[in-house]
Amino acid sequence: MLRSTLFYGAVVALGIGIGFKVYLLRPSPLPPMDFDRWWGDGPQPEDEDASIRPFVIVFNESMVEDLKSRLRNRRPFTPPLYGAQSQYGMNTKYLDELLTYWSDKYNFTERAERLNKFSHYKTTIQGLDIHYIHVKPEGKGKKVLPLLMLHGWPSSSKEFDKVIPMLTTPKDGYEFIFEVIAADLPGFGFSQGTRKPGLSPLQVGTIMSNLMRRLGHNMYYIQAGDWGSQVATHMTTFIPHEILGFHTNMPVSSRPISNVKYIIGSLFPNLIMDEKYINRIYPIRKLFDYVLRESGYFHLQATKPDTIGVALSDSPAGLAAYTLEKIGVCSNRHQLNTPHGGIENIDRDDLLDTVTIVWANECIVTSMRIYAEAFAHADVFMMHNIPTVVPTAAINFKHEVVYQPDWILRDKFLNLVRSTTHDFGGHFAAMQTPKALADDVFESVKEIISFRLNY
């Protein structure tokens, strides 16, 4: 009787386990997508302006003088605690030095001219003026591949100014070269934000698809990180026929089965990933400690972005402290014992370009709202749980915000053709380690082309 009970109990447990697995692996249905949804003010006009307009970046004199005045007249900061460096957040002694450099030594005119070495354009997509950099390669005899590049928060297409020349210059050993379209996400950089709720990363994907079509590209590659990677991941899911290949420096699978694998993997980490990378996600308690310490800004921006936005929109000192502290942590999370907290892993002028662009365009609120929109709509979560067949390449830098082994990434990216892991670098790869990123894009696309030929 006991053996019979145990046998049937085991059968029931096995059945529940199999059913649970099937439930977790079952993809969500593809939600309906509206590629004509109007995000501009007022009703949609009968004829949308489809012109492409040249654009020049200018940090105008009145904005610069107002910014410098606010910086020079800032109130004295509360000093750090005795013995503390960046453990409590931005070290205000270091911040003082940084703000003095911004007001007295940062050359606004030269930095704008440096950005203008590329061709900039704006065009209206679904009611929003979208800004992008468009660079066509000069080398002849190579196959030209269109590459859409997408950034994250608090950045813009400026993030790619070091890597673009590397991607548009012929490289030995490769028969192709890239035509780069580096776009500002709506509400970021020089792209217009919307006043209508609902512009999630999923909806941003339709805008980027329409942008590429307007430029004559019905099929193209994408390189992206941070929120740009989320937008691109959605695009590979709802328009896989348009995306020839996807390269990401922030690869993430958000499927429910992936969350379960995180827990299972903690029991037998040596069986699912390379031993030298186990400490990037295990023990789980260590990962949770990191998330709790560093995700406060994320929760704030995902719930009440407009509130903190008031303070950041009114104070350049506050804007610099808030944004650069997060950039520093994401560049090297293990440098909180230094005054700079990781900031010095990226060139100071590059960092101040980023903050200046946010300040000049008054886009801190519109950029932060993407956090709230990403968690407010069911169709986003449905899209997360649909795997994509688009051939994908992942590059994992040491201090990326999140690390997932290939065992988990393949839940979302069924054709993960290349996965590279480095012991250096961080979240803002295009600014911090541009050569490593560009080299991996070339090699990844080479492998994606080979995969498609043999698929």
In a domain, 258, yes or no: yes
How high does pLDDT run on average in the chain? 93
In a domain, 5, yes or no: no
- Domain boundaries, position 79: 52-454
Q: What is the pLDDT of residue 47?
A: 86
pLDDT for 122 beyond 80: yes
Q: What is the pLDDT of residue 13?
A: 37
In a domain, 279, yes or no: yes
Q: What is the pLDDT of residue 274?
A: 84
Over residues 355-365, the mean pLDDT reads: 98
Pairing assessment for the beta strands 143-150 and 220-224 based on DSSP bridges: parallel
How confident is residue 298, by pLDDT bands cut at 50, 70 and 90? Answer: very high
Contact predicate 279/304, CB 8 Å: no
Helices (H) and strands (E) in the chain, counts: 19, 9
Q: What is the pLDDT of residue 393?
A: 98
In a domain, 7, yes or no: no
Q: What is the pLDDT of residue 266?
A: 86
Q: What is the pLDDT of residue 29?
A: 86
Beta pairing partners, 222: 148, 246
pLDDT for 23 beyond 80: no
How confident is residue 265, by pLDDT bands cut at 50, 70 and 90? Answer: confident
Q: How many domains does the chain have?
A: 1
In a domain, 23, yes or no: no
CA dist 68 and 70 (Å) reads 5
Q: What is the pLDDT of residue 2?
A: 46
pLDDT for 28 beyond 90: no
Q: What is the pLDDT of residue 276?
A: 86
pLDDT for 8 beyond 90: no
CA dist 318 and 159 (Å) reads 21
In a domain, 47, yes or no: no
How confident is residue 346, by pLDDT bands cut at 50, 70 and 90? Answer: very high
Catalytic residue among 226, 353, 379, 411: 226
Over residues 201-225, the mean pLDDT reads: 98
Catalytic residue among 350, 371, 379, 411: 371
In a domain, 10, yes or no: no
pLDDT tens profile 155-180? 999 999 999 999 999 999 999 999 99
Contact predicate 184/131, CB 8 Å: yes
Q: What is the pLDDT of residue 37?
A: 96
Over residues 342-361, the mean pLDDT reads: 98
Handedness of CA 271, 277, 279, 283 (dihedral sign): negative
Please indicate whether residue 371 is annotated as part of the active site: yes
How confident is residue 11, by pLDDT bands cut at 50, 70 and 90? Answer: very low
pLDDT for 131 beyond 50: yes
CA dist 146 and 135 (Å) reads 10
Over residues 382-407, the mean pLDDT reads: 96
CATH number of the domain where residue 358 is located: 3.40.50.1820
Q: What is the pLDDT of residue 25?
A: 60
pLDDT for 1 beyond 90: no
Over residues 118-127, the mean pLDDT reads: 98
pLDDT tens profile 400-439? 999 999 999 999 999 999 999 999 999 999 999 999 999 9
How confident is residue 135, by pLDDT bands cut at 50, 70 and 90? Answer: very high
How confident is residue 18, by pLDDT bands cut at 50, 70 and 90? Answer: very low
Residue type, 144: V
Please indicate whether residue 217 is annotated as part of the active site: no
Over residues 49-62, the mean pLDDT reads: 96
Q: What is the pLDDT of residue 409?
A: 97
In a domain, 427, yes or no: yes
Within 10 A of 27 (CB to CB), how many other CB atoms are there?
12
Catalytic residue among 247, 377, 384, 427: 427
Question: In the structure encoding, which two tokens stand for residue 381, read together?
Answer: 């979560």
Q: What is the pLDDT of residue 24?
A: 58
Q: What is the pLDDT of residue 58?
A: 97
Residue with tokens 């942008």: 211
pLDDT for 240 beyond 90: yes
